[in-house]
Structures are given as C-alpha cells and as structure tokens.
Amino acid sequence: MEGYKSFLFFLISSLLLGFALVIFVLVWVLHYSDGLAWNGDSAEFNWHPVLIITGFVFMEGIAVIVYRLPWTWKCSKLLMKFIHAGLHLTAAVLVIIALVAVFDFHNAKKIPNMYSLHSWVGLVVVILFMLQIVVSIVVFLIPTTPVSVRAALMPVHVYGGLLLFGGVIGTALMGITEKLIFSLKNPPYSSLPPHAIFVNTLGILIVVFGGLIIWIATRPDWKRPPEPTV
C-alpha cells in the first residue's frame, strides 16, 4: 500500500477524534446539561445529540472507511460487506431512537416540531440514509443482482454515502448552534460561557473528524485491492 504511514496517521487521528467526540457529547449532557433520562424533559432531549454523534457521526465515519483498513484485506469481501452494512444498520437504529427522543420531548413540552432548518435538512438526510441502506442491500448484498447493475450504481453509492456523511455533519452543526442559543440564557450564549466554548469546540472537532474520514475515503491509493465480485 502506498503511503501506509500517512494512512496510519490519518486513521489513528480519526479514531482518537471519534472517541473524543463521544466523550465531549457525554460531558456536554452529563456535566453542562441535565444528564440522560427518558422523562419527557431536557434529559430525554439529551439522548438526541448523544445518539446522533455516536451513531451518525462516529459509527458512520468508521463504516465509510472500513474497507480501507489493510489488515481486513485478507478477510472475504462478503464479511466486510456485512460489517459495513452492520455498522450502518446499527447507526440507523441509534438515529431512530435519537429522533423519537426529540419528538417525544417536544410533544411533552408542547414545542412545535419540524419548523427549523436543522429539522428539515436532518429529516431529508435521515430519509435518504434509509433509502441508501435499502437500495444498497438489494444491489450489493443480494447475490442475484447483476454485476452490471452493481457497477453502474457503485459511483452513486459512494457519492451518496459521502454526501450523506457531509449532510450529517452540517445538520449536527446547525443542531448544536440552535441548542446553545435555546439553552444558554443566563449567562447567554453571546457572553461565551465555558459551556458554550466547550460545545463550540465539539462542533469544530466534528468538522475535523469529517475532514479526516473524507480524506481517507477518497485516496485512490488506499483502496482495497480489487477481487472477483461476491
């Protein structure tokens, strides 16, 4: 593999950053906010950022680059497909729970649903993500799908996956911003209290994580070597 050391640097950086994202969101909700519970209150809302960042940012990021880990190249392509799909499906479950948490919290508090740009873009991303999963299982996992169809759809699958991953990151940044504006009143967000600095930093780390994952996923030299289609 060309540039193995550089690959390892990007991989280890993105793994460390991914874990840091999960720690940051947990510190945000457990230390700066009202913790985690399923009680129709702010602690229930807090599942939303925790599950989105764990599932839709970190787990998805790993799912995107899982074929590129050189020590998996001796594993069968089919096994790697199951791991790739399994990470996406697990992320999908976390995302659904994250959405239920936010709707349930809004309804309990009589807060309107689906008015913000965050919610509009987020819903489109979630719907397209679910569509990508269903289409990809049919096209790439069901053995009877002709190779010509797989080959035609592969660029759309790769582009769609990266577009969705970028969409998740943009949506997460909007969600973080609106949550800070809503929740920081005294002292306000504009006075930049430690809570705001901490969560702004989380937003920056999400962008850097996304940048690393997209870099790893788009280096042609780091692709899994081709083999007969499974």
User: Could you list the residues that contact ligand ASC (CB under 6 A)?
Assistant: 77, 140, 147, 150-151, 154, 229-230
Provide the minimum distance between the beta carbon of 98 and ligand ASC in the complex, in angstroms, as a whole number: 30
Provide the minimum distance between the beta carbon of 84 and ligand ASC in the complex, in angstroms, as a whole number: 10
Provide the minimum distance between the beta carbon of 75 and ligand ASC in the complex, in angstroms, as a whole number: 13
- Beta carbons of 65 and 217 less than 8 angstroms apart: yes
Nearest residue (CB) to ligand ASC, 8 versus 79: 79
Provide the minimum distance between the beta carbon of 150 and ligand ASC in the complex, in angstroms, as a whole number: 3
Question: Token pair 């996406």 is at which residue?
Answer: 88
What whole-number distance in Å separates Cα of residue 28 and Cα of residue 116? Answer: 22
- Dihedral sign of CA atoms 84, 90, 95, 96 in order: positive
Question: Token pair 């790893």 is at which residue?
Answer: 216
Q: What is the largest CA-CA distance in the chain?
A: 61
Query: How many helices and strands, by DSSP H and E, does the chain display?
Result: 8, 0
Nearest residue (CB) to ligand ASC, 109 versus 150: 150
Residue nearest to ligand ASC (CB): 150
What whole-number distance in Å separates Cα of residue 46 and Cα of residue 165? Answer: 22
What whole-number distance in Å separates Cα of residue 123 and Cα of residue 17? Answer: 26
What whole-number distance in Å separates Cα of residue 91 and Cα of residue 58? Answer: 9
User: How many residues appear in the chain?
Assistant: 230
Provide the minimum distance between the beta carbon of 80 and ligand ASC in the complex, in angstroms, as a whole number: 9
Nearest residue (CB) to ligand ASC, 39 versus 229: 229
Nearest residue (CB) to ligand ASC, 149 versus 181: 149
Provide the minimum distance between the beta carbon of 77 and ligand ASC in the complex, in angstroms, as a whole number: 5
- Beta carbons of 58 and 87 less than 8 angstroms apart: no
Nearest residue (CB) to ligand ASC, 147 versus 197: 147
Nearest residue (CB) to ligand ASC, 28 versus 140: 140
What whole-number distance in Å separates Cα of residue 219 and Cα of residue 206? Answer: 20
Provide the minimum distance between the beta carbon of 226 and ligand ASC in the complex, in angstroms, as a whole number: 7
Nearest residue (CB) to ligand ASC, 96 versus 135: 135
